[in-house]
Amino acid sequence: MASRLLSPAMRAVCSPSAPLRATRSFQTSSRRLADAAPLPARKPVGAFRGGILGFFLGSTLAGAGVYYYILEEYRVSNELLTEDIYSLQASVQRVHTYVQSLEEKVSELERKK
């Protein structure tokens, strides 16, 4: 029963033919516009000062970053190479002592014969 009573009122409110009413307009009063101060004048930034110097600054910073990155990679690879060289040297030294001991054993066997 309540839905029958409210139905016509709801249709009137929700109907697409009913115009939408704005409760507040978005306007600025003339008093507020009179109090506004103008923005300070900006000096124009020329193409040379803004573009070329910015390009050089960015290129320099990027180049310095790449330089230090490559320098660090070089240092790490150099340490790895040095470590491998020392490992190879130790292996060669072990093989040398092994061969030397074998030669001594062979010479002892030849003396006994």
Residue 3 belongs to some domain of the structure: no
Residue 78 belongs to some domain of the structure: yes
Residue 97 belongs to some domain of the structure: yes
DSSP code at position 48: I
Mean pLDDT of 52-78: 95
Confidence band for 38, pLDDT divided at 50, 70 and 90 = confident
| Domain count across the chain | 1
Which domain covers residue 83, as residue numbers?
71-112
> What is the rounded CA–CA span in Å between residue 88 and residue 84?
6
Residue 38 belongs to some domain of the structure: no
Residue 41 belongs to some domain of the structure: no
Residue 17 belongs to some domain of the structure: no
For position 53, what pLDDT does the model report?
85
Return the higher-pLDDT residue of 15 and 47: 47
Return the higher-pLDDT residue of 29 and 86: 86
Q: 83 and 76 in contact (C-beta within 8 Å)?
A: no
Q: Cα separations (Å) of 87 from 50, 80, 94, 97? A: 55, 11, 11, 16
Residue 18 belongs to some domain of the structure: no
Return the higher-pLDDT residue of 112 and 11: 112
